[in-house]
Structure 1
């Protein structure tokens, strides 16, 4: 049995008779029903400059993409739990939350099926140049006049799945699921990359540089951390095959956008697809990958972009709602920590300790 000190429900702030929940980005999903007395403010969207004012009376904050910073928390004296409705939480200052005694929860593995399925969609779109072909057919008479658009592939026909070697960077839940799907689709070979600059190679993996050089499809599936920002830059892109694709379903900034744009313009690789950008939401001129042609910027060829929607399926929403509810109600009821060394799977920070 866990000790009473680990399972004592948090006190409601003086002068309050119930918890107050503030949802910063309700645009992404409907909130679950919470089974404890509370009030709730749901903001469909919140700008970073609005966070501090909106959370000032909260005991519970539900976030997603917009950061809740230490400075914001300075203005929220009653904050007890920051519940992030996402898998990736790179923006959370875990050490600061632990120091304050603020619990942090997330939604682990809630979107794995959706994101890996989207990866396959981006792969086929990039290899088949689906978006490029669609745009040509719907805006020009090229197909009618030329009779065929196969010359869009200057080096000849594209590879098929049975000829592809997939290099996976990030072998967590997402990467392992992607390996299964790739093999089911018929990929010839799957390589699991070791960490960059690793001093030894774990069994079943290949060196980082080896994955870059051998892969015809490079899948980015790892978290955005200090050591993965700009993981793939000019040096790495120049190491890849001319017929290679790079597909990012992780986070913007892991692949350097300036370098990727240059690689595509100069033909270092065959193409790329990404569901994520360093600056989101994205639009004309917000990224080197989205040039504003009306201002004379050069187009980035052979690139497919989706608007951070890889996670968006009915099952993901249901998973997020369930995990969000589990984390928040676990905090309210004092049941997130089972023993001195065990916490609920949704816990990132709890009882002044960083768990993962």
Structure 2
């Protein structure tokens, strides 16, 4: 009897059909509506493999219903939506899709930085609304990018890729990280700084660190008070790393100049959220990896992960410690 896989959102047909060669596959057919929790509870109690997105909260309560589940394949790099510790206790492998979205997310990060600094969405709306009547010296003036200082909070794959783009703009790059990286510093000609020092020096601050208990609300009132008045905050990591109430206050009181956000504490963000009322905040609907090529690579890798675990083949993207070939070693 074939093992069963449940896919929590509509994915490309070719990815689904590839899995159907070896497994019984059922898929929630909606593209824009998350699978209801009652259906997810039902399916997770029946399936051997779960192919899911960041929108699904796979918590301890849900995992208690997963009687035959062997693997949770997250179509994302981040995995804070999954209780990995509880999954491990139940002998369930958890996988993600790192690497394939690095360059695409770095592109978006730098595009967001540029759009915020040069007020591109605001200028585009100004033109479309018919307000543009003449040229004037200070009309929609923004901040320079070339020759400024970029501060990175976190220096993983995506952060390193952002450094390479920043170098093309003649930016000086400083970074802070849980561990200092001398080899990378030498290779990329960047400098390590403690967080408080970085916040005081940087013109642009990019949040690139994973979301953990330690990084929750890492950037809040105290940190905004250290920043330059012309500083721009960019967040393409996770919303909970930045305290949004403190961010709104920092921009309204001109402690910092603006912000570019692809992620939020609660997603989707409410249309009435104060952040959306601020003209010098550029907001995007979590599209960091949203190129056709990258999303296909992510889906393909997520499918490969669930397949390899269920067939007890070596899988390089298992997040649980001490897991190998279908068994959990404690």
TM-score (norm 2): 0.87
| Mapped partners of 1:252, 1:48: distance in 2 | 23
| Mapped partners of 1:121, 1:51: distance in 2 | 36
The structural deviation recorded for 1:40 is 1.3
* RMSD across aligned positions (CA): 2.2
Deviations 1:234-267 (A, max 9, x none): 1101111111111011111111111111111111
Aligned residues: 311
Is residue 286 of structure 2 the alignment partner of residue 303 of structure 1? no
Out of 256, 260, 272, the position equivalent to 1:269 is 256
| Mapped partners of 2:194, 2:207: distance in 1 | 15
1:46 partner SS: coil
TM-score (norm 1): 0.81
The structural deviation recorded for 1:53 is 2.1
Out of 314, 317, 323, the position equivalent to 1:346 is 317
The structural deviation recorded for 1:136 is 2.1
| Mapped partners of 1:114, 1:149: distance in 2 | 35
Residue aligning to 2:189: none
Map residues 239-254 of structure 1 onto 2, 5 A cutoff.
239-254=226-241
Is residue 182 of structure 2 the alignment partner of residue 192 of structure 1? no
The structural deviation recorded for 1:72 is 1.4
Is residue 279 of structure 2 the alignment partner of residue 289 of structure 1? no
1:310 partner SS: coil
Q: Is the 8 A contact 2:49 2:310 kept in 1?
A: no
Map residues 1-356 of structure 1 onto 2, 5 A cutoff.
17-26=1-10, 31-32=15-16, 33-34=18-19, 36-43=21-28, 44=30, 45-65=34-54, 66-141=56-131, 143-144=132-133, 147-148=135-136, 150-153=138-141, 158-162=143-147, 164-187=148-171, 189-195=172-178, 203=182, 204=185, 205-285=192-272, 287-290=273-276, 299-336=277-314, 344-349=315-320, 350=323, 351-352=327-328
Larger Rg: 1
1:256–1:149 Cα change, 3 Å: farther
| Mapped partners of 2:13, 2:128: distance in 1 | 33
**What residue ranges of structure 2 are gaps of 5+ in the alignment?**
186-191
The structural deviation recorded for 1:27 is 5.9
Deviations 1:123-182 (A, max 9, x none): 1110110111122222252x21x53373444xxx622322x1110111111111111111
2:63 partner SS: helix
1:218 partner SS: strand
Q: Is the 8 A contact 2:71 2:310 kept in 1?
A: no
The structural deviation recorded for 1:101 is 0.4
The structural deviation recorded for 1:29 is 8.8
Q: Is the 8 A contact 2:115 2:121 kept in 1?
A: yes
| Mapped partners of 2:161, 2:89: distance in 1 | 35
2:233 partner SS: strand
The structural deviation recorded for 1:71 is 1.4
Q: Is the 8 A contact 1:212 1:240 kept in 2?
A: yes
Deviations 1:185-232 (A, max 9, x none): 322x0001134xx8xx66441111111111101011111111111110
The structural deviation recorded for 1:73 is 2.0
Highest relative contact order (Cα 8 Å, sep 6+), 1 or 2? 1
Residue aligning to 1:295: none
1:29–1:262 Cα change, 3 Å: farther
| Mapped partners of 2:212, 2:257: distance in 1 | 27
Deviations 1:308-338 (A, max 9, x none): 11101133123213321331221122122xx
